[in-house]
Amino acid sequence: MNKTEVMALLRENQNNRGIANWNKSKTTPKLKSFGIGLTQLRKLAKTIGRDHKLARQLWASNVYDAKVVALLIDDPKQLTRERAEEQVDNLEAGYLAHVFATCGATLPKTSFAFELAREWMGSTDAPRRRSAWGLIYEFAKDKGKKAQSDEFFLGCIQRIQDSVHSEKDMWVREAMNSALMGIGFRNRKLNKAAIKAAKVIGKVDIDYGDDNSCEPLDVMKHLTGDTVKKKLGL
């Protein structure tokens, strides 16, 4: 598919309710939107397939949905670290951050993602720290040949425990919370360590303001729930 065809596809799948919510948001960036939810965008991205050139064209557009698709269809073998650094600087006030490093995005699949995550965790830039923890969440799901060790994830758990409350950016705290949950889903050893850390951490301060549809992630509930017990044979 080319850019014109993708834009036509997005227009065909526009969601009027989503558009209305986008337009009434006080913090909406200077982007247009077809109001399409992430689940639907991921389905559309699969029909489009991997295409690095098309991803670059869609990222350059002023349409939020197109930018999301760009992050989903890029080719991990062609996406460069330099390109990732450019993108993280242009996440439109965080509106694209949730897809940039997780949710099926291309970045976690690149050969340099692990190195990037370790560097970004200590960055003075909040979007990079947020993205780093998003990558950690994705790494926790990987059990292939390139999977990270339990020791690495135990270090991440300790880092979250030691610094989540001193982290100034709310969205980074949210990403750290998610990473802790994701690590705790990996195996029994890490589940036990994540639960121990969650007890020490307690409630993490995350305020979504007037958005009543969002509530802070209850990490302990997820780490001790029936789903993880069944998965890990607890």
Round to whole Å and give the CA distance between 51 and 91.
20
Residue found under tokens 């951050």: 97
Alpha helices in 124-202 (DSSP H): 126-141, 150-163, 170-184, 188-201
Round to whole Å and give the CA distance between 177 and 99.
16
Query: What is the domain partition of the chain in residue ranges?
Result: 1-105, 112-234
Q: Which residue has the higher pLDDT, 147 or 9?
A: 9
**Residue 191 near residue 229, CB atoms below 8 Å:** no
pTM of the model: 0.92
Check residue 94 and give its pLDDT: 81
Flag whether pLDDT at 140 surpasses 90: yes
Q: For residue 143, which of 153, 134, 131 has the smallest C-alpha distance?
A: 153
Check residue 175 and give its pLDDT: 96
In angstroms, the Cα distances linking 105 to 50, 79, 125 are 11, 12, 21
52 contacts: CB under 8 Å, gap ≥ 6: 74, 75, 78, 79
When pLDDT is cut at 50, 70 and 90, the band that residue 92 belongs to is confident
Q: Which two structure tokens, joined as six digits, stand for 142?
A: 């990987």
Flag whether pLDDT at 209 surpasses 80: no
